[in-house]
Amino acid sequence: MRESIIMKIHYGTALAAVALVAVHILMRLTQGFSESLQYDSVIANYKFLPYAGMLEIILILLSIHGFNGLRVILLELKQGRTYEKAVSYGCVAAMIALITYGTRTIIMVNTGLGMM
C-alpha cells in the first residue's frame, strides 16, 4: 500500500477517534467516576449494543492509528529491508490481535460466556 494512503488512514482514524472518544467521555459523565467503573455498570455498557458498537469502533480506530504510529517510529529508528518488513507485518499482526481480544470481550459479555 502506498504511504500516502496509509497516512490518510492514519489522519482519518485520529480525527474519528477524537470525535468518538469525546462521545464516550460524555457518556461516562452521566455517572460518577467510581460508579462508572463498577462491574455491573461496565457489563451493562457492553450489553447495550449501540454503545458496545461504538466502543468496538473506537478500539479499531485507535488500534490502527496507534500501531501505524508505532510502525513509523520503528522505521525511523532503524533501517533495513528485513527489519522494515518485520516491523510492518508485526504491527499489523499486533493490531489484529488487539482488536480480536477486545471484540472477544464484547462477544463474551453478550453471549454470557465466561461470566461469573
Partner 1 sequence: MAQIPIITEASTTPSPKVITLRIARYNPQHDSNKKFMEFNIPYERWTTVLEAILEVKKYFDHSVAVRYSCRQATCGSCGMIINGKPRLACFTKISELNSNVVTVEPMNNFPVIRDLAVKFERLFNTHHKVKPYLIHDDSEITTDSKEFLQSPKELEKYIQFSNCIKCGLCNSACPTMATDSLFVGPQALAQAYRYVADSRDKGKDTRLKIIDESHGIWRCHFAGSCSQVCPKGVDPAMGIQLLRGYMLGFRS
Is residue 34 a contact point for partner 1 (CB under 8 A)? Answer: no
Beta strand segments in the chain, E: none
Of the residues 30, 33, 40, 76, which one makes contact with partner 1 according to CB under 8 A: 76
Closer to partner 1 by Cβ: residue 7 or 22: 7
Is residue 81 a contact point for partner 1 (CB under 8 A)? Answer: no
Q: Residue 40 burial (CB < 10 Å; 0-12/13-18/19+)?
A: exposed
Q: How many Cα atoms are found within 13 Å in the side-chain-facing hemisphere of 87?
A: 18
Angle at 49 between CA 45 and CA 54, to 5 degrees: 80
C-beta of 99: minimal distance to partner 1 in Å?
A: 23
Give the distance between the most distant pair of CA atoms in the chain: 51
Binding mask 82-101 for partner 1 (x = CB under 8 A): --x-----------------
Is residue 14 a contact point for partner 1 (CB under 8 A)? Answer: no
Q: Which residues bind partner 1 (CB under 8 A)?
A: 2-4, 6-8, 72, 75-77, 79, 84
